Amino acid sequence: MAALGEAAARWAPGLWRRAARAAAAFGGCRFASGSQNPPTFGLLLDIDGVLVRGHQVIPAAREAFRRLVDSQGQLRVPVVFVTNAGNILQCSKAQELSALLGFQARVSAPTPWKLGSEGDRGIDGLVLCLSQPLPRNEFPAIEGVLLLGEPVRWETSLQLIMDVLLSDGNPGTGLATAPYPHLPVLASNTDLLWMAEAKMPRFGHGTFLLCLEAIYRKVTGRELCYAGLMGKPSLLTYQYAEGLLARQAARRGWAAPIRSLYAVGDNPMSDIYGANLFHQHLQTRREGAARSCASILVCTGVYGPRAPGPAAPSPGGEGPPFHGHRDLGFSPGLLQAAHVVSDVHEAVRLVLGREGWAL
């Protein structure tokens, strides 16, 4: 699954903000008025495998939004779309979702994000930014590599990244010895698999990273190091999404804080693992309004009753294969969803029922 953005060489500060935003979320629309009490809960919805498969809407998604949207086309509860995908600009994805689901989606404002701590090697100049399509121009000296999503031509992109890393950002010159530590590398998506129109899951950006890591290790004898990993299941993604929900509530003028979050996804390793990890975080932190994040797994995407191989832990059985990134700590219990439902419509019914809202 690609992370949001276009391939380009841009000034680094803007790209870090774009990566944090792309790997995180974008928000809903205006909110409905009426006699219903202001909601104290919010929805974090994945897109691919939950609402759409490729460019085709999942029918249950339309049913779900008939419950979430009032007669004026306004959302009844705060909703944030949380996706690792980035093969399309946010504004274009918002327009697509608006047409498919019958309400006006809006793009979130960017969020600043600072890489590393004081004293770390910073990125002040140009970075190599790879997604779709691949740029074909000559590059000046490059200060880092930002990986937004798997490109169309993997072999060309893998070669270009290796050229940049082995030349310390000057692929036109070359070096006798590969520098180590190498230039900073930031990845905004670690999904091994994702779901499109095809019956079988597709290779995601995590698979592309796996190839890059193997090539770098084979060529240099060293491990590729990341300056940062973002996107689900990272806490940064969910912290940003929580902030978007709070801003939606503030725009509406609701005094009651958003206490309960419900994260709906189709991928146990990114959606469910990340939601459960964030729930653990909420149990220990002292600041912030949210108190819980319940994970809800749907069967319309990567996970399904007939999915190849174990995608979620089976009670008393062997654990599933680890589909996460090598640098992520792995706790098998975090793959267990709080709820498993057939589709997003059933997920919305579950949430509204638990919160005592009219179905």
Q: From first to last of the 359 residues of the chain, give the pLDDT tens digit.
A: 332 222 222 223 444 444 444 444 556 544 344 456 889 999 999 999 999 998 899 999 999 999 998 888 778 899 999 998 876 778 888 888 888 888 888 876 554 444 444 344 444 555 666 655 544 445 567 889 989 888 889 999 999 999 999 999 988 777 778 899 999 999 989 999 999 889 899 999 999 999 999 999 999 999 999 999 989 999 999 999 999 999 988 888 878 899 999 999 999 999 999 999 999 999 999 888 999 999 999 999 999 865 444 444 444 446 667 889 999 888 999 999 999 999 999 999 999 999 999 76
Identify the pLDDT of residue 111: 47
Identify the pLDDT of residue 110: 52
Identify the pLDDT of residue 355: 95
Identify the pLDDT of residue 234: 92
Identify the pLDDT of residue 252: 80
Spell out the domains of the chain, with CATH numbers in brackets: 28-111+235-354 (3.40.50.1000), 127-229 (3.40.50.1000)
d(CA 17, CA 113): 6
Identify the pLDDT of residue 145: 92
